[in-house]
Amino acid sequence: MAIEFEVILEDRPGSLARIGGILGDAGVNIEAIQGFIRERKGLVHFVPSDPEHAARVLEAANIAHRTREVIVVKVLDQPGTLGDVALVMAHAGINIDSVYVTTRGHVVFGVDDLKGAIQVAGGMAVMTL
């Protein structure tokens, strides 16, 4: 399992650069990231290389954040694979609330049933990381 961080940023130039700079200066690599603007706030989800260190760095910089466990899976790079994984999870009653790709091409899933998602991924011969 991986740890996903959620940070809310101001919708203005430099907000993302500040987070990236703070983490980068501390030696924390961002392995996956997604972000968007909603209601004049930037919402960023990211998976760092070292979650404990990332949390300490953000806390030292007074940057509020939340964390949760997510599943990262290695899937085939073929048309339809994402749909197949999502469909099997849906049939298992697992809701996917976020999905994005890592810098290595793996897929991050935020789900409401982590244990179930791990079982589904294992049953599909996709590798959980």
Residues recorded for the chain: 129
Is 69-128 the same fold as 2-68?
Answer: yes
What sections of 28-80 are H helices per DSSP? 51-60
pLDDT tens per residue across all 129 residues of the chain: 899 999 999 999 999 999 999 999 999 999 999 999 988 899 999 999 999 999 999 999 999 999 999 999 988 888 988 898 899 999 999 999 999 999 998 999 999 999 999 988 877 655 555
Domain boundaries, the chain: 2-68, 69-128
Fold of the 2-68 domain: VC0802-like (3.30.2130)
- For domain 69-128, the CATH architecture is 2-Layer Sandwich (3.30)
What residue ranges in the chain does DSSP mark as E strands?
A: 2-10, 30-38, 41-48, 66-74, 96-101, 107-111, 127-128
d(CA 83, CA 99): 12
